[in-house]
């Protein structure tokens, strides 16, 4: 220190550069392990500590956003948003790929409405069984439009119905089952309806997806034994299997063929 108490300009700049940065010891340790003071170890400590502050702030912000997203998607309403977003994305992608016409979209909207009415208002259902004619709109869509449109119709109908007219806790697995069920109807019935195809489609949908897959979803949702759920749902699956075969076969002759002729008429396009 000079006698007059004043430092030369170059020493003042040196001290200014080497002043400790107001940063927590945790960040210092993260920057240089084992370093507690940012002395003469670094050529530009203030600059590096500024980068350390930036990195530390970014990390904390990222963790806060991640926790917010995690907490948000743990609620039922977030599941609605997530599933609807997935269905909309699938719909848009498949629409572009298959070029779904406006008339097809309108028909799908009508079938979604009919499905909701049949399942939510004209059905017998409890927390573990459901008997309804909700398969009819899916069958009509499958016959007229195909498996993709029938699958989308089933998923959208289940999702919208669960939001507007809930009948118990919502579970995305049920929407997945509705999507697959519509696809199965479309694979077997699109442009080639026959009794064997109706039997195969009804058997797969009732005994594989309705009985086993939905039974598994219910056991997960309510914590009930899977074997007990199956015992209760076997009569439902058998009844719906027979009912679907009879109803579809009868309506194929008296209704579905006429609807198809009208729908395929280019004069009403």
Query: Which pLDDT score, from 0 to 100, does residue 117 have?
Result: 93
Positive or negative: CA dihedral 60, 64, 70, 74: positive
Reading the block at residue 154, the tokens are 């089933």
Averages of pLDDT over runs of 10 residues in the chain (269 residues) are: 51 44 49 45 48 57 58 57 65 63 87 93 76 92 91 90 80 89 94 92 95 90 87 91 93 81 66
- As a whole number of angstroms, the distance between CA 223 and CA 106 comes to 39
Predicted model pTM:
0.66
User: What's the CATH fold of domain 102-258?
Assistant: Arp2/3 complex 21 kDa subunit ARPC3 (1.10.1760)
What does the radius of gyration of the chain's CA atoms come to, in whole angstroms? 32
Q: What is the pLDDT of residue 191?
A: 83
Domain definitions of the chain by residue range: 102-258
Q: State how far the alpha carbon of 167 is from the alpha carbons of 109, 170, 235, in Å.
A: 22, 8, 21
d(CA 260, CA 265): 8
How far is Cα 154 from Cα 77, in angstroms, rounded to an integer? 20
Strand partners, 125: 130
Query: Which token pair is 156?
Result: 């959208």
What was the pLDDT predicted at 206? 95
């Amino acid at each position: 220190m000079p006698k007059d108490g004043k430092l030369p300009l170059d020493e003042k700049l040196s001290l200014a550069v080497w002043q400790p940065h107001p940063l927590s010891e945790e960040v210092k340790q993260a920057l240089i392990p084992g370093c507690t003071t940012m002395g003469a170890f670094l050529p530009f400590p203030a600059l590096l500590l500024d980068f350390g502050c930036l990195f530390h702030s970014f990390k904390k912000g990222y963790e806060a956003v991640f926790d917010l997203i995690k907490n948000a998607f743990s609620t039922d309403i977030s599941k609605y948003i997530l599933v609807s977003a997935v269905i909309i994305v699938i719909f848009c992608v498949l629409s572009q790929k298959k070029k779904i016409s406006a008339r097809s979209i309108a028909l799908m909207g009508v079938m979604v409405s009919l499905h909701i009415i049949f399942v939510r208002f004209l059905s017998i259902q409890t927390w573990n069984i459901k008997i309804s004619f909700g398969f009819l709109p899916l069958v009509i869509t499958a016959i007229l439009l195909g498996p993709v449109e029938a699958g989308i119709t089933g998923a959208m109908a289940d999702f919208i119905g669960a939001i507007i007219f809930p009948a118990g806790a919502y579970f995305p697995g049920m929407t997945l089952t509705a999507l697959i069920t519509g696809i199965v109807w479309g694979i077997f019935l699109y442009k080639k309806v026959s009794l064997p195809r109706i039997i195969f489609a009804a058997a797969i949908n009732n005994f594989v997806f309705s009985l086993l897959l939905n039974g598994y979803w219910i056991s997960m949702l309510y914590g009930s034994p899977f074997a007990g759920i199956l015992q209760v749902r076997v009569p439902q699956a058998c009844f719906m299997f027979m009912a679907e075969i009879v109803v579809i076969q009868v309506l194929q002759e008296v209704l579905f063929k006429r609807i198809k002729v009208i729908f395929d008429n280019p004069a009403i396009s």
